[in-house]
């Protein structure tokens, strides 16, 4: 994927994923709850989500499936296994090795970050609530329309998120007119131990 296209795709994921490798020490005034931890803490170990990403450009599609599974959960951290599957044009799949990401409950904000602004999406033009149906099921969501500037120009993003889904992401559409690239991410699987699941 060209660097500019990947940057546009990553701008969506950054709304829902904050992977941090800082050490979790004693909580202090400069520490904040990690949004990744809080987005997964209500779910049991073994919970799994799969998100399909489709990037369209010049009449071609690039498809990836990213699965995340809650492997461990303590008061100090959650460990999430992340696996990416690349789907080729003929439908064959190539799975990359799983990465295990440890996300501490609390972390220290980097210098220069305003605690009051942390976690707040920038460039929000509209927002509301919607009951949305996707491949994984139907969810009560909060949607936002966002404009942001990336290397390739202005990017228009609409996201749908829900507390019913670990990680929050239900659907997102990202459009960058200057590159004629459209990326759509959609939740296609949600498996919660003890509950019915979507394959």
List the CATH number of the domain containing 76: 2.40.360
Structural domain contains residue 112 = no
- In percent, the amount of the chain with pLDDT more than 70 equals 78
CB 150 within 8 A of CB 3: no
Structural domain contains residue 116 = no
Structural domain contains residue 198 = no
Note the pTM of the prediction, 2 decimals.
0.79
* Segments forming the whole domain that contains residue 174: 3-21+33-106+123-191
Residue predicted with more confidence, 12 or 177: 177
Structural domain contains residue 115 = no
- For residue 100, the number of C-alpha atoms closer than 13 Å in the C-beta half-sphere is 6
Q: Pairing state of beta strands 60-73 and 137-150?
A: unpaired
Domains held by the chain: number = 1
């Amino acid at each position: 994927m060209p660097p500019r296209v990947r940057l546009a795709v990553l701008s969506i994921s950054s709304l829902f994923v904050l992977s941090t490798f800082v050490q979790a020490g004693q909580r202090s005034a400069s520490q904040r709850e990690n949004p990744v931890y809080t987005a997964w803490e209500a779910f049991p170990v073994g919970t799994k989500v799969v998100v399909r990403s489709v990037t369209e450009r010049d009449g071609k599609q690039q498809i990836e499936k990213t699965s995340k599974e809650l492997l461990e959960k303590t008061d100090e951290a959650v460990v999430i296994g992340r696996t990416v599957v690349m789907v080729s044009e003929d439908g064959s799949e190539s799975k990359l090795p799983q990465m295990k990401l440890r996300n501490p409950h609390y972390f220290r904000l980097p210098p220069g970050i305003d605690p009051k602004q942390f976690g707040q999406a920038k460039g929000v033009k509209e927002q509301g609530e919607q009951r949305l149906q996707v491949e994984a099921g139907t969810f009560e969501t909060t949607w936002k329309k966002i404009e942001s500037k990336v290397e390739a120009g202005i990017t228009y993003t609409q996201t749908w998120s829900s507390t019913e889904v670990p990680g929050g992401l239900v659907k997102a559409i990202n459009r960058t007119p200057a590159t004629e690239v459209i990326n759509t991410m959609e939740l296609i699987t949600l498996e919660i131990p003890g509950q019915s699941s979507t394959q």
